[in-house]
Copies of this chain bind each other. A is one copy, B any other.
Amino acid sequence: MQQGAGRRVSVQEVATRDGFQIEPGFVPTAAKIALIDKLSTTGLGRIEVTSFSSPRAIPALADAAAVMDGIRRARGTLYAVLVPNIRGCERALAHRPDELNFVMSASETHSQANLRMSRADSLAQLSGIIASAGGATPINVSISTAFGCPFEGEVKPGVIFALVGELVALGVGRVSLCDTTGVANPAQVNRLFRQARRNWPGLRFTAHFHNTRGMALANVLAALQAGIVDFDASLGGLGGCPFAPGATGNACTEDLVHMLQTMGYATGIDLAALLDAARDLPSLVGHAVPGQLISAGPSTRRYPAPSQP
C-alpha cells in the first residue's frame, strides 16, 4: 500500500465551476472573483474557474467572461475553464485560460441530456477545438459517467478505453475520468485506472469523484493505489451535474487535502488557508455545505481535558 511518504499529489479546485453551476441562487460575479482570488493564495496548483457553456443552459455561470477577466492570477497556479463545444472554446480563448477542459460523456444518453449532442458530435467538436486552440492552449478532456450512467447503468471499461484511444489519436495529453453521479466503488476505480495507465503510460489521468454514496475519499485512496496523482475536488463538497439526476457534491477539497496530508502526501496546499476559504461558502451559497472538516477541524485539533467532578 502507498503510504504517502512525501509523494506529490495535485488537486484541482472545481467549486466555482462544478459547484456553482447547480446552485439555485446566482453567486454574484464579485463574490466569485473574491473566492477565486482567495483560493489562489492557498497553494492550489490548478483552479477550474468557470464554464463557457451556453448561458441559457447554465445561467449560474453566465458571467464566465467577467470572472476570467476579474481574477488576479497567482504565479504557479493554472487557471482552467470548461468548454462543451467550439462556440464555448471561441468565447473562452478571448479570456486567456491556461487550459481548456473539454467535457464529453461516456454514455450516449447522458451526452444527449448534458450536451445535447451525440458522442460522435462531441468528438467532432473536440477536433475543431484542437484545430483552433491546439498549439497555444493545452486541452484536458473530462469523460463524464465514466463509472456508470444514471440513465443507462453500467458503462463498460471497453467503452472508456475506446474513447481514450480516440482522444489520444487526436493528440490529447490529459484525460479526466469522472464519476458524475457517485456510483463508482473502490474496486472498480482501482481496476479502471490501473488498466488505463497500463494502456497509456504517457497520458496524465485525473480522477474526479462525487461523494453521492459516501465513497469519494475511499475512491481517492483506490485511485492513489493505482498510481493516480491528479484529483479534482470542490471546496465545501459543493457540486453536481445539472443534467444528471441524483448527482450531489464532489469530493470535498479540504477533506481530501486533509486526508492526503495526514497520510504523508505532499500537496503544496495551506490547509488552514483552504479552510478559511471554505468557511465563506455557507453565506455565499445560502446553505450548509457537506464538507466535514469545516466543522470538525483537522485531526490534530486538541480540546482541553475536562475537569473532574
Residues of A bordering B, CB below 8 Å: 1, 3-4, 109, 112-113, 116, 148, 150-151, 153, 182-188, 190-191, 211-218, 220-222, 225, 243, 245-246, 248, 252, 255, 258-259, 262-264, 291-293, 296-306, 308
Contact = CB atoms under 8 A, between A and B. Distances in A.
A191 to B, nearest CB: 7
Contact of A215 (B150, B191, B248, B259): B259
A301 B150 contact: yes
Contacts of A190: 1, 3
A301 B218 CA distance: 20
Given A3-B191, A292-B213, A296-B182, A151 B305 contact: yes
Residue among A190, A216, A255, A262 facing the most chain B CB atoms (10 A cut-off): A262
A248 to B, nearest CB: 7
Closest 10 CB pairs of A and B: A183-B299, A185-B262, A214-B255, A187-B263, A214-B292, A217-B218, A245-B303, A218-B218, A151-B305, A3-B187
Contact of A213 (B116, B216, B296, B303): B296
A203 to B, nearest CB: 21
A194 to B, nearest CB: 9
Contacts of A182: 296, 299
| Dominant secondary structure of chain A at its interface with chain B | loop
A153 B300 CA distance: 7
A246 B214 contact: no
Nearest to A301: B246
A252 B213 CA distance: 10
B259 A185 contact: yes
B293 A214 contact: yes
A79 B184 CA distance: 33
A218 B259 contact: yes
A235 to B, nearest CB: 14
Given A214-B252, A214-B293, A222-B1, A263 B303 contact: no
A300 B148 CA distance: 9
A4 B189 CA distance: 13
A9 to B, nearest CB: 13
A213 B255 contact: yes
Nearest to A217: B218
B187 A264 contact: yes
Given A1-B225, A305-B109, A292 B151 contact: no
Contacts of A4: 187
Nearest to A5: B187
